Amino acid sequence: MVNVKMTLVWLIVLNMGTQIAYAALPIELFASNGALPTLAPMLDQSRPAVVNIATRSHVQTRDNPLLSDPFFRRFFNIPQHQKPRQRTRQSLGSGVIFDASKGLVLTNNHVIQRADEITVSLTDGRSFEAVVVGSDPATDVALIKIIADDLTAIPLADSDKLRVGDFVVAIGNPFGLGQTVTSGIVSALGRSGLGIEGYENFIQTDASINPGNSGGALVNLRGELVGINTAIFSSGQRGGNIGIGFAIPSNMVKQISDQLIEYGEVRRAYLGVQMQDINDELAQAFNISSGHGAVVTRVQRDSAAAEAGVKIGDVIKAIDNRKLINADNLRNTIGLLMVGQTIKIEVLRNGKNKTLSATVKEIQKQVKLKPVHPKLVGASFGDIEESSPYHGELLGVMVYSVIQNSPSWNAGLRPNDIITSVNKTAINNLDDFKILARNSGRLLFNLTRNRRAMFLMLR
């Protein structure tokens, strides 16, 4: 059985055979004078806007557990107080100049996450130190800033106008080889439910993606940015490309970057509902012809949905005239709105169409739980946030953050883990987790990570 896994990556590049590429190129690319078709004029304008990003971070190394034993230290005459050892970690990625006058560069959050130093290199050979303006792990978008003159920015396209079959070109820095250009097509739109990010609405392309390309540009044949390349679907242990890659649409990137510029973070809106996809059986039960939309299974008290009059059993069909495909589509749509924005919600209730008006609020901050067990030091926990793809799907608690090299990190906990049981007892909320974890000598967690369930023993 083939082991299929999701692998975070760095750009989208498609290799087309010579005959296929020439046969598939739009007729407009053929010059009237009989010259060979080429994308070079467009790329001459776009390539200077794509940069290489190098990061450096310092990671504290984990000591052998024997070094914590006082008898062992005395026997081998090891000093009691030693500075923690560190190693330097380097990585490469790509970015896109978003605003030339302000030196703003778009990239992926995972490219610059936990970096102590960020260096941006331009196609003209210049290099600059960058600072982080803001980042959003839930969408994997980050914005950094350099101070430089004579920069070239790339114009943004309306990614909502993309169609399957549109030609796209990828520009980035695969494997640190330097700027590389490849071409492909859009193979699907609106991909979600993959478990890569908290909010997903990916452009799928058959372009080849490789390490070093994350944060690079996916452009149309006019040289306009349609997406930021971020992930691949791969099989096998090496994570090689099999022709299914994903990019964050430019419209989503624009929404996120506007908030990062204004606040340095994303103030995420929420509607206050839990939802379920419409399958064939539910479509028959609600007497609707298609399985598109999402049925409301819970309405949170004092939420925007409650104030708008949304009720359990309503089928939400569209937001601001945009038809919804499923519950993930609805969650993505709401999560990318600006706090305080008023929207129109089209619902089907008892066989009749209704239009409701709601003003979305800022997502509620959940109370984090302090450590209740020695092995949980360094981690923070809370209710499953609406930004999590498991919200409304699983019961349990969410791991908000884990400090590297802390007891919880060394035990194997990671951010965004969803703990569903403690010592084989199912938990529903923070109170259950607190009681069971506090009264245990050892901890056996059943948790979900990247759409996979697993057991984790903390001794």
- Active-site positions read 110, 140, 214
d(Cα 339, Cα 360) in Å, to the nearest integer?
A: 6
**Single-letter amino acid, residue 256:** I
- Give CA separation, 351 vs 233, 284, 289, 456, in Å: 40, 11, 11, 47
- Give the residue from 110, 58, 45 showing the smallest Cα distance to 84: 58
d(Cα 85, Cα 404) in Å, to the nearest integer?
A: 14
Residues 165, 185 contacting (CB under 8 angstroms): yes
CA dihedral 328, 330, 334, 335 (to 10 degrees): 0
* Residue 210 backbone dihedrals phi, psi, to 5 degrees: -140, 155
Residues 51, 105 contacting (CB under 8 angstroms): yes
Residues 450, 439 contacting (CB under 8 angstroms): no
d(Cα 309, Cα 313) in Å, to the nearest integer?
A: 12
Q: How many angstroms from the chain centroid is the CA of residue 28?
A: 36
Q: How many angstroms from the chain centroid is the CA of residue 337?
A: 16
Supply 242's token pair: 């099999």
- Give the residue from 143, 148, 141, 145 showing the smallest Cα distance to 131: 145
Q: Which residues pair with 240 in a beta bridge?
A: 235
DSSP 183: E
Through-space distance between the first and last CA atoms of the chain, rounded to whole angstroms: 33
b (16+ CB within 10 A) / e for 116-154: eebbbbbeeeeebebebbbbbbbbbbbbbbbeeeebebb
Residue with tokens 């708008």: 308
DSSP 371: P
CA atoms within 13 A on the CB side of 458: 25
- Give the residue from 380, 374, 383, 386 showing the smallest Cα distance to 403: 380
